[in-house]
Amino acid sequence: MRILVVGSVALDTVRTPFGFREEILGGSATYFSLAASYFTGVSIVAVVGQDFPEEHIDFFHRKGIDTSGLERQSGRTFRWKGEYGFDLNAARTLDTQLNVFGSFNPRVREEHRTLKFVFLGNIDPDLQRSVLEQMERPTLVACDTMNYWIEHKRESLKRTLSQIDILLINDAETRQLAEETSLMKAGRIVLSWGPKTLVIKRGEYGVLMLSSKSTFGAPAFPLEDVSDPTGAGDSFAGGFLGYLAACGATDDSSLRRAIVYGSVMASFNVGEFGPDRLGSLTYPEIEGRYREFKKITHFDDI
């Protein structure tokens, strides 16, 4: 099943202890779409400026990503500049220029309104609900958010959470949203507001998934070399939801496998700057790392 993703497409400038890249392709919808494209079709709803390089549009097309919902407006493209220290779990934002993204009002094309899988990227919760109002009974809705919306639009965000199936956020955001220091307690509070499943991203420490019936934890795939963690969470979400859309199932077993596929996609993404590695992957590489992951986490009862 094809996925509709609504989010940002940006130009990033990133510095880590392992290098520096300027004005590279970025944005939540970018990383999500590239990761998900290995499992299913993806249609983007986003906005870019007149300065957005055509080569990036071609890149999307080569990966089979539908950009008919990608608006090009007069003005400059959203830009983000950040740096990481040796603690690669946290980025320090140096500059954010919203530009055309600042007035983004997502419009879902007629042919996309019947899509059954929807991912609402990290945008204003009012806009997230406006997208849902344009859709015709999707089967599964997943969304992301961030500390800014939790702090400044908390009640609006809670209204959005009452309308979704899966929330994917990190551990700090979970605690902030629930106003609770215990991660497990915080997760249960968030679930009480509507989502059927909460997926808590914990960076190099892995993923915790909670629902009313199940708890599941998985480590991150162990890597010797990490170049750039930008987009890791969105790559995880793309692999996670892409697998669910491909298999057309949302039972507990499918969700657990989706967690591992999401972790696999994130592990590839962080190996190079920007989304380059997601662009050059092959499906056999993904399956190979999935099998490695199974071996690493396998154990027998004594």
pLDDT digit string, tens, across residues 23-50: 999 999 999 999 999 999 999 999 999 9
257 DSSP assignment: H
What's the pLDDT score for residue 251?
94
How distant, in Å, are the alpha carbons of 16, 54, 284 from that of 259?
27, 33, 18
The tally of CA atoms less than 13 A away on the side-chain side of residue 126 is 5
b/e string for 100-139 if b means 16 or more Cβ within 10 A? bbeebebebeeebeebbbbbbbbbbbebbbbbbebbeebe
Q: What pLDDT does 275 receive? A: 94
Residue ranges of domains in the chain, CATH in brackets = 3-297 (3.40.1190.20)
State residue 229's pLDDT score: 93
- What is this structure's pTM? 0.96
Residue whose C-alpha is closest to residue 65's, from 40, 36, 43:
43
- Listed as ranges, residues in the chain with pLDDT below 50 are none
For residue 302, the model assigns a pLDDT of 60
